[in-house]
């Protein structure tokens, strides 16, 4: 929300207003998506609970209570309370995972028709086994729940897994997808919030079921969005068919070169360009491209910024990055600014 307006002041054309138009302007090649939702549907209406001069406190559609500032940068809100604390508070969420709910399929038929002659990679949402549960349980409680209430957290993960597999069963026969992509935002700079053994024993079998389902329909690329330091659980992902890592957040403790050195081409990479280079000069950007070049040349590596581009990055620095990316890595589409 802040990066593009800042860049307008630095010469970005006014017609570039959102991600889609930015991709067009910068020559970034995009993907297309099947409209099928395997995730948790809303359980309540968004409601403002407090409206102060500088902030609001609100309850979102999943029942989480958060505080958001009205001024300055809008980033991750400060969460105050999470709805799922025990089995009784989990029960209302079971209906929101019903795979037959019609809300899951809004736009599905239209997207299938539109993708029929698509020449861009086609992706399908493979849901979340731990990331969305973390959203409704909270950081601290999902870290302790495997010890304090193991039966409940296993039931929660299983419920999410059953919905994902059911939605894929329904959707995949209707369209040939190139990749499946999940969302498991469960790591920070010291590793996963939950114990790696829990990820292996409880989530691992579901990753395998999802990977097998994709493979049955001719899709061999299964990726997930997991920020932070994923190094302690990469082997769990790979053992269970989750073979593509994203965004490979370098300053969060994950590095694409280290991943490839450890696992070879068994690990596919999407992301991994250290966004801290934007705060240096052109030579810093060039050095990062040269560092990645041998690994990109191996294949199975789509180099992109390791998360979103911060609002204080200059437009010139970003263009230098794209120019070096085309020159050194030989990737990227044709920009409009040349």
pLDDT of residue 100: 94
pTM, entire model: 0.95
Q: What is the pLDDT of residue 190?
A: 94
Alpha carbon of 328 to those of 181, 288, 332: distances in Å? 28, 10, 11
CA 170/CA 4 separation, integer angstroms: 38
Distances from the Cα of 92 to the Cαs of 42, 97, 157, 161, 198, in angstroms?
Answer: 11, 10, 15, 17, 25
What was the pLDDT predicted at 1? Answer: 80
Over the stretch 233-252, which tens digit does the pLDDT of each residue have? 999 999 999 999 999 999 99
Report pLDDT digits (tens) over 33-68: 999 999 999 999 999 999 999 999 999 999 999 999
- 263, 248 contact by CB (below 8 A): no
pLDDT tens digits for 88-101? Answer: 999 999 999 999 99
Task: pLDDT band for 220, please (50, 70, 90 cuts).
Answer: very high
Please provide the size of the chain in residues. 338
What pLDDT is stored for residue 332 in this prediction?
87
CA angle, 309 then 315 then 316, to 5°: 125
Measured between alpha carbons, how far is 246 from 244 in angstroms, rounded to an integer? 7
75 pLDDT band, cuts 50/70/90, is low
Concatenated DSSP letters of 200-252: IIIIHHHHHHHHHHHHHTT---EEEE--S--GGGHHHHHHTT--EEE---GGG
Residue 50, beta-bridge partner list: 57
């Amino acid at each position: 929300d802040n990066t593009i307006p800042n860049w307008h002041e630095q010469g970005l054309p006014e017609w570039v207003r959102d991600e889609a138009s930015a991709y067009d302007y910068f020559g970034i090649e995009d993907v297309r998506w099947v409209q099928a939702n395997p995730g948790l549907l809303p359980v309540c209406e968004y409601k403002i609970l407090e409206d102060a001069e500088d902030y609001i406190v609100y309850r979102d559609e999943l029942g989480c209570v958060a505080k958001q500032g009205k001024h300055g940068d809008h980033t991750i809100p400060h969460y105050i309370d999470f709805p799922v604390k025990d089995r009784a508070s989990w029960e209302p969420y079971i209906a929101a995972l019903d795979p037959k709910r019609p809300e899951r399929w809004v736009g599905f038929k239209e997207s299938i028709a539109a993708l029929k002659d698509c020449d861009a990679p086609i992706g399908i949402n493979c849901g979340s086994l731990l990331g969305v549960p973390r959203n409704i349980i909270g950081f601290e409680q999902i870290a302790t729940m495997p010890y304090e209430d193991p039966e409940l957290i296993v039931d929660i993960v299983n419920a999410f897994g059953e919905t994902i597999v059911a939605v894929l069963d329904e959707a995949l026969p209707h369209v040939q997808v190139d990749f499946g992509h999940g969302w498991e935002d469960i790591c920070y700079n010291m590793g996963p919030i939950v114990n790696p053994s829990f990820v292996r024993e409880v989530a691992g079998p579901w990753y395998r079921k999802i990977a097998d389902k994709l493979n049955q329909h001719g899709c061999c690329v299964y990726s997930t969005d997991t920020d932070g330091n994923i190094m302690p659980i990469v082997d769990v992902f790979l053992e269970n068919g989750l073979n593509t890592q994203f965004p490979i957040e370098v300053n969060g403790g994950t590095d694409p070169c280290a991943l490839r050195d450890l696992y070879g081409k068994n690990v596919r990479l999407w992301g991994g360009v250290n966004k801290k280079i934007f705060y240096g000069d052109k030579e810093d950007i060039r050095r990062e491209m040269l560092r990645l070049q041998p690994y990109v040349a191996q294949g199975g590596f789509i180099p992109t910024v390791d998360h979103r581009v911060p609002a204080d990055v200059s437009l010139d620095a970003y263009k230098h990055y794209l120019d070096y990316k085309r020159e050194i890595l030989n990737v990227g589409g044709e920009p409009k600014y040349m």
